[in-house]
Homo-oligomer: A and B are copies of this chain.
Amino acid sequence: MKPTEQLLNDILDEVRPLIGKGKVADYIPALAEVPANKLGIAVCYNDGEIIQAGDSEEGFSIQSISKALSLTLAMTLYQPEEIWQRVGKEPSGHAFNSMIQLELENGIPRNPFINAGALVVSDLLHSRLSAPQYRMLELVRKLAQNPHICYDKVVAASEMQHSDRNASIAYLMRSFGNFDNEVMPVLTNYFSYCALKMSCVDLAKTFSYLANKGLPLGAKKTIITQTQCKQMNALLATCGLYDGAGEFAYRVGMPGKSGVGGGIIAIVPGEMTIAVWSPELDPSGNSLAGTAALELLAERIGRSIF
């Protein structure tokens, strides 16, 4: 069954009562100020049709959702072994910013979607691109077919002011020889990617290539190969939801990626891409109402990769 706007509105109404039961990310002021009652959803079909409801066109900080974009960009620049010798492909079983495992495993992050892994990917981009921030923005605007997408400079600056933990992670990897560039410039880029301001519609369109064998919306050429597309979805399914990937697979049954800004994208391979937004998070750091909305949607339209 194909979702209608009515169905999306119904789902948002059903999950709205969850608002107030989670917690908006507050480690930086710029995120803490986002109104908790924002709620939006957008579905982008592989043919480009968009169905949407709620605050689906309002931009928000995509945060860790950008980690999937960085990895995609790195996949276009590096051979697989160049990436996978520096970062693993396994779920971490720890909080997204924990350093315990990183020390025990000699500075090789478990996967590209925890902070340490995404910092390694940013380090890779930094080594091979002369202007990685510019290149990322160009990529996202093209994928989303929206030239107005920007970095939220207030968020990026605020992140940089609270960057001690990520600096610690980067220096630890550097001490193990798994970080090539100066730490601070890479952190600056990393936080910019996180500070991309995009709407649910932007996100659903942007990640359409993951539902369409690597082919971006409206494009004639794939951005990554079909095999890479499957690999990316596999990584999202096992590692994309912080330490809540198992629960997300159990309840929603789609590859996905979340961010502490309250956004989540989910992929129905071969068919559609979904983006939801609700700022309050569950204890794992995933959008509480957003996950619930995806669970209902998956059930109502009878979609699951399992």
Contact = CB atoms under 8 A, between A and B. Distances in A.
Interface in A280-306: 304-306
Interface stretch (A37-45, A144-152, A248-256): A248-256
Contacts of A230: 253, 304, 306
A170 B269 CA distance: 41
Contact of A168 (B90, B169, B231): B169
Contacts of A245: 90-91, 238
A56 interface: no
Contacts of A101: 93
Interface in A135-191: 164-165, 167-172, 174-175, 183
A175 B175 CA distance: 19
A235 B306 CA distance: 10
A258 to B, nearest CB: 14
Interface of A is mostly: helix
A123 interface: no
Contact of A253 (B100, B168, B234): B234
A91 to B, nearest CB: 3
A99 B104 CA distance: 10
A247 B168 CA distance: 28
A169 B172 CA distance: 8
Given A100-B103, A255-B306, A90 B234 contact: no
Contact of A250 (B89, B170, B243, B253): B89
